[in-house]
Amino acid sequence: MTSLTVAKFGGTSVADYAAMLRCAQIIKNNPDNKLVVVSASAGVTNYLVRLSQANVPESEQREIIESIANIQFNITQYLTEQTIIDREISVLLDELAAYASANALNHSARISDAILSFGEQMSSRIFAMVLRSIGVPGQYFDVRQVMKTNDLYGQAVVNIEKLQQNATTILAPQLSTNVLVTQGFIGQNDAEYTTTLGRGGSDYSAALLAEALNADNLAIWTDVVGIFTTDPRITDQARSIKEISFGEAAEMATFGAKILHPATLIPAMRKNIPVFVGSSKEPEKGGTRIQQSVASKPTYRSIALRREQTLVTVKSPAMLHASGFLAKVFTVLAKHELSVDLITTSEISVAMTFDNPTGSTQALLNSTVVEELEQLCEVTVEHGLSLVAVVGNNIHKTNGVGTDIFDALSGVNVRMICQGASEHNLCFLVDEQQANLAVEQLHTSLFNVA
Ligand code: ADP
Ligand code: ASP
Ligand code: MG
Residue type present at position 80: T
Other CB atoms within 10 Å distance of the CB of residue 175: 18
185 CA closest ligand 2 atom index: 5
Sheet holding 179-183, edge to edge: 138-140, 179-183, 33-38, 5-9, 217-222, 275-279, 287-291, 243-245
Residue 284's Cβ-side half-sphere holds a number of Cα atoms within 13 Å equal to 1
Q: What is the mean pLDDT of residues 258-282?
A: 97
Separation of 224 CA from ligand 1 center, angstroms? 7
Residue type, 40: A
Average pLDDT of the residues in 407-428: 87
* pLDDT at 238 (0 to 100): 96
CA–CA separation, 103 and 135 (whole Å):
41
| Domain membership of residue 352 as a residue range | 301-446
Round to whole Å and give the CA distance between 44 and 57: 19
- In angstroms and rounded to an integer, the radius of gyration of the C-alpha atoms of the chain is 23
**Assigned domain for 283 exists:** no
pLDDT at 274: 98
* 161 shares a domain with 22: yes
- Residue 105 falls inside a structural domain: yes
How many beta carbons lie within 10 A of that of residue 16, not counting itself?
A: 14
Among all bound ligands, the one having the nearest atom to the CA of 202 is 2
**Domain match, 74 and 168 both:** yes
Same domain, 81 and 218: yes
Pocket of ligand 1 (CB under 6 A): 10-13, 39, 200, 222-224, 227-228, 230-233, 257-259, 302
Among 195, 223, 251, the domain boundary falls at 223
Domain-embedded: residue 99: yes
* DSSP 3-state of 31: coil
CB 277 within 8 A of CB 222: yes
Question: CA 203 to CA 183: how far, in whole Å?
Answer: 11
CA 210–ligand 2 middle distance (angstroms): 18
For residues 171-175, average pLDDT = 96
Length of the chain in terms of residues written:
450
Q: Is residue 112 part of a domain?
A: yes
How does residue 1 score in pLDDT terms, banded at 50, 70 and 90?
low
Which residues, other chains included, contact 90 with Cβ-Cβ below 8 Å and sequence gap of 6+? none
Regarding the beta carbon of 201 and ligand 2, being less than 6 Å apart is answered yes
Q: Give the number of the ligand closest to the Cα of residue 154.
A: 2
* Distance of alpha carbon 132 from alpha carbon 82, whole angstroms: 12
The answer to the question of residue 259 being in a domain is no
How far is it, in rounded angstroms, from Cα 341 to Cα 339? 6
State the alpha helices, DSSP H only, in 30-117. 44-51, 58-76, 82-105, 109-116
Mean pLDDT to the nearest integer, 13-30: 98
- pLDDT tens digits for range 23-54: 999 999 999 999 999 999 999 999 999 999 99
Contact status, residue 271 vs residue 211, Cβ threshold 8 Å: yes
CATH number (domain holding residue 218): 3.40.1160.10
Q: Where is 152: in which H helix or E strand? A: none
Q: How far apart are the first and last CA of the chain?
A: 49
What mean pLDDT comes out for the span 14-20?
Answer: 98
Q: Does a structural domain hold residue 245?
A: no
In this prediction, residues 337-358 reach a mean pLDDT of 84
C-alpha angle with apex 199: 223 to 340, nearest 5 degrees? 115
Interior angle at CA 103, CA 102 and CA 107, nearest 5: 130
Instruction: Identify the pLDDT of residue 142.
Output: 98
Does 305 lie in the same domain as 219? no
Give how far the C-alpha of residue 444 lies from the chain's centroid of Cα atoms, to the nearest Å.
27
User: With bands split at pLDDT 50, 70 and 90, how would you rate the model's confidence at 424?
Assistant: confident
Percent share of the chain, pLDDT over 90: 80
Are the CB atoms for 106 and 97 separated by under 8 Å? no
With CA atoms as reference, report the closest residue to 88 among 103, 74, 102, 72.
72
**Beta carbons of 219 and 278 less than 8 angstroms apart:** yes
The most confident of the ranges 301-315, 322-336, 409-423 is 301-315
Q: Residue 181 pLDDT > 80, yes or no? A: yes
Q: How far is the CA of 261 from the centre of ligand 3 (A)?
A: 6
- 104-156 tens-digit pLDDT: 999 999 999 999 999 999 999 999 999 999 999 999 999 999 999 999 999 99
Domain of residue 379, CATH code? 3.30.2130.10
Look at strands 300-315 and 349-355 and give their pairing: antiparallel
Q: Are strands 5-9 and 33-38 parallel, antiparallel or unpaired?
A: parallel
Residue of 47, 202, 222, 260 to test ligand 2 pocket, by largest number of atoms within 8 Å of CB: 202
Number of domains in the chain: 2
Report d(CA 277, CA 228) in Å as an integer: 10
Closest CA to 381 of 407, 362, 403, 408: 362
Q: What is the 3-state secondary structure (H, E, C) of 391-402?
A: EECCHHHCCCHH
Whose atoms come closest to the Cα of 11: which ligand? 1
Neighbour tally for 448: CB within 10 Å: 8
Q: Could you tell me if 219 and 318 lie in one domain?
A: no
Same domain? For 166 and 27 the reply is yes
* Helices marked H in 274-382: 325-335, 360-364, 370-374
Are residues 257 and 199 in contact, defined by beta-carbon separation less than 8 angstroms? no
Greatest CA separation for the chain: 76
Note the helical H segments in 134-190.
160-166
Which comes out higher in pLDDT, residue 256 or 358? 256
Q: Is residue 195 part of a domain?
A: yes
Distance, in Å, from the CA atom of 31 to the CA atom of 136, rounded to the nearest integer, reads: 10
Domain boundary among 198, 223, 248: 223
